[in-house]
Every structure is written in C-alpha cells, then in structure tokens.
Amino acid sequence: MTDAAARPLRAAIIGTGAIAQAHAQAIADLAPRIELVAVADVDAERAREFADRFAPAATVHATLSALLAAERIDLVHICTPPQTHVPLAIESLRAGVPVLVEKPTALSLAEMDRLVAVSRETGVPALTVFQHRFGHGAQRLARLLRDGRLGRPLVATCETLWYRPAEYFDVPWRGRWEVEGGGPTMGHGIHQFDLLLSILGPWRRLSAFAARQVLPTDTEDVSMAVVEFENGALATVVNSIVSPRESSRLRFDFEYATVEVEHVYGYTDADWTITPVVGHEQLAAEWAADASDEVSSHRLQLSAILDALAAGTDPSVGAAEARRTLEFAAATYASAFRGLPVSAGDIVDPDPFLASMDGGAVPWPPLKEAL
C-alpha cells in the first residue's frame, strides 16, 4: 500500500449543483478511505450550503484555482456544466492532481485530444464518470465474456428512451451545442452506449440518423445508429428524450445466451436476465451465483478508483478510453448530418466534426436566443 492509500484521500468537488450530491454521498459512503476537504462553485451561497450539508469542515472557494492554492488535494471531482470540464481538468492536471470528470468529458474530439495530451504529458490521470460500467451485472457480463463462457457476441440493441418536457429547455444553457455538445447522444444515451462499447470493444463503422422531433432545443432530441464492431457483432443504438415511457435497455445476443438489462437511471441485479441456449443451461446458475442488490452508482465507480489508486494500477475510465465513447458520439452526428457511413478513425483534422459535434452541418435552424 502506498502512503497515499494509508490515509484518507483528500477530495474536492468543483460545481456543487445536482450531480455533485451523488459525488458527495459516494465520498461519505466510502469514508474513511476518502474525505471531502474542499468545494468550489461560482455561486458562493450554493457552495456554502452544500458544504454545510455534506462536509461542514470542508473549505469553500469561488474557483478551482483558489481551492488548489489553499489545499493539498488528491482527487478533484469536476461536476460543472460540460463546456467547463476540459479547462478545469487541465488546470488540475497541471497542478499534479488527478480528476474525475462528469460526462460528457469534453465538447468535441479536438478538446478531448487536448485533455488526453495533457494527461499523457503530466502522467496524471483524467477519469470520466461512466458509473453504469461498474454495476455488478455489467462487471459479471464482462467477466463471463472475457472467460469465453458466452461465446461470440453476435447482435446487440442499446436503447435510451427517456422523456424531457419542453420546460426542461427553459434553463438558458440547455439545448445548446456550444454548452452541452449535443442532445441525448451526448447528454443522456452516452451512459448506455458507453456500457455497450465497454462490453463489445472497438467499433468499426456506423450509419446514423438524428432529428429534432418536437422539443425546443437547438440540438437533436433523438438519434439512432447501426454499428458494426471489430469482432463482427452488429448493434443498434437509440438515444431519445421524446419517449413518454422511460426505459434504458441493453440486450446482447451471444452464441450461448441472451443477456439483457432494463432499468431507467441505475440498475441492480434484479434488472438483468440471462437466457441460455440448449446445452448451456449452467450459465443461468453461474449468473445467479454472486447476486447483489447494489445499484450501479457513483459509489461503485469511486470505490473501483480507490482500489486502483491503492494498488498502483490504472484506474478506469481513463482519457483514452473515454475518447472512444466520445468518438462514437461524434461519428453519430457526422453520419447523420452527412448522410454517409463513418468508420472509427475517420474524423481527423481538418474534418469539422473534430472541432465540434455539430460539425457546422445541423440541418435544422437554431431556436434558442443568443446567450
């Protein structure tokens, strides 16, 4: 065990809004391995109230710079709106402090590449929150596949069918390409297709559609992709926020079994099913062997990060891996807006989809007023 692992890890939270509460709760649940020692928000009152609620002894700051100047920190949780993620993450990496960044990590592949480069140059990890990779069901599925128990992956479906009313977009920064990087592809479905990619591995080629069906947003409110993986598996990916019965669903058909999960914002083992083919019935018992009722959550991902840091191994989800998920989003937009298939690795300089997810090619007019 390293010296850092022997004492509580000193954590800071930047941005004390909605999702920061999940981070603070995860930190509290994992005490004494980690403690929240400082918070920062441009809204001083919100930061103070947040500290009072979750960590009364924590110091309160207006900016990340002030926080880093005042405190010795081991891990910065970045819980601010997406357009601030990379500048804040780079500032922290340059101060030698690892970051755990909320999704989407970056607004564009070009911005993501800057983060990957600084993480490589400094040797300091830049991690992304993709908490659904860390639930027991996903971990078990990955293990069974790796061990060859399920055979070859053949077909998959990945659906994020969520619902947001028009008023959701009353918040001035919502629904803007330059703040959020996109609609349900970047903001909502990214969790589900990140999990799909983490199980099926590198994708090779996709064809996509995107539309603004009904919501008062500049971005899409639905997208849909058909994708081929390097291992030959074929999958469909749907990202929607116009679907009144909400559902997050993944279905994998392997040679020896179908494995499915259906939930909305987090799953437990009860949300997973396995259906083996004749001759592989023992898979059902193997699947049920170490059942857990823990929900896929920030706590599970943070716990895995603490384990990796203590063991001196690479924590997940590192910047290079998060880039693969972001590239899938960029390719979805590029394919949809150009009406052409896109292969992994296609989006390189000077392709406009490297610099922004909209690629300057959105086929519908903007609705939002200038900020």
Ligand X SMILES: NC(=O)c1ccc[n+]([C@@H]2O[C@H](COP(=O)([O-])OP(=O)(O)OC[C@H]3O[C@@H](n4cnc5c(N)ncnc54)[C@H](O)[C@@H]3O)[C@@H](O)[C@H]2O)c1
CB of 17 to ligand X, least distance (A): 2
Residue with smaller CB distance to ligand X, 48 or 204:
48
CB of 46 to ligand X, least distance (A): 5
CB of 243 to ligand X, least distance (A): 18
Cα distances (Å, whole numbers) of residue 201 to 97, 171, 193, 195, 259: 29, 36, 11, 10, 17
User: In the set 103, 136, 174, 299, which binds ligand X (CB under 6 A)?
Assistant: 103
CB of 319 to ligand X, least distance (A): 16
User: In the set 11, 14, 222, 357, which binds ligand X (CB under 6 A)?
Assistant: 14
What residues between 16 and 55 interact with ligand X by CB under 6 A?
Answer: 16-20, 40-43, 46
User: In the set 36, 76, 129, 261, which binds ligand X (CB under 6 A)?
Assistant: 129
CB of 130 to ligand X, least distance (A): 8
Between CA 360 and CA 211 the distance in angstroms is 15
Residue with smaller CB distance to ligand X, 171 or 361:
171
Residue with smaller CB distance to ligand X, 78 or 145:
78
Residue with smaller CB distance to ligand X, 9 or 20:
20
Structure tokens at 231: 């291992």
When asked if residue 112 is in the footprint of ligand X (CB under 6 A), the reply is no
Closest CA to 259 of 280, 279, 240: 280
- Name the residue with the smallest CB distance to ligand X: 17
CB of 355 to ligand X, least distance (A): 20
Closest CA to 99 of 74, 72, 70: 74
Between CA 158 and CA 323 the distance in angstroms is 19
Q: How much of the chain is helix, strand and coil, in % rounded to 5?
A: 40, 25, 35
For residues 56 to 95, the per-residue mask of contacts with ligand X, x marking binding by CB under 6 A and - elsewhere, is -----------------------xxxx-x-----------
CB of 277 to ligand X, least distance (A): 34
Tell me if residue 143 falls in helix, strand or coil.
helix
Tell me if residue 364 falls in helix, strand or coil.
coil
Question: What is the DSSP secondary structure assignment for residue 347, as one 8-state letter?
Answer: -
Residue 81: how many other CB atoms lie within 10 Å: 14
CA-CA-CA-CA torsion sign (306, 307, 312, 318):
negative
Pick the stretch among 13-21, 192-200, 240-248, 338-346 that binds ligand X (CB under 6 A): 13-21
Residue with smaller CB distance to ligand X, 44 or 340:
44
Residue with smaller CB distance to ligand X, 233 or 317:
317
What residues between 304 and 343 interact with ligand X by CB under 6 A?
Answer: none
Residue with smaller CB distance to ligand X, 16 or 239:
16
For residues 169 to 208, the per-residue mask of contacts with ligand X, x marking binding by CB under 6 A and - elsewhere, is ------------------x---------------------
- Give the residue ranges of DSSP H helices in the chain: 3-6, 20-29, 44-54, 64-70, 85-94, 109-122, 136-146, 177-180, 184-187, 190-200, 282-288, 298-311, 319-338, 352-355
Residues 156 and 252 sit within 8 Å (Cβ to Cβ): yes
Residue with smaller CB distance to ligand X, 15 or 183:
15
Between CA 196 and CA 289 the distance in angstroms is 23
Q: Residues binding ligand X: what is the number (CB under 6 A)?
A: 22
The residues that bridge with 343 in the sheet, in sequence order, are 205
CB of 329 to ligand X, least distance (A): 13
Residue with smaller CB distance to ligand X, 101 or 150:
101
CB of 196 to ligand X, least distance (A): 16
The residues that bridge with 242 in the sheet, in sequence order, are 163
Residue with smaller CB distance to ligand X, 318 or 352:
318
- Give the residue ranges of DSSP H helices in 220-318: 282-288, 298-311
Between CA 121 and CA 319 the distance in angstroms is 13
**Footprint on this chain of ligand X (rule: CB under 6 A):** 14-20, 40-43, 46, 79-82, 84, 102-103, 129, 131, 187
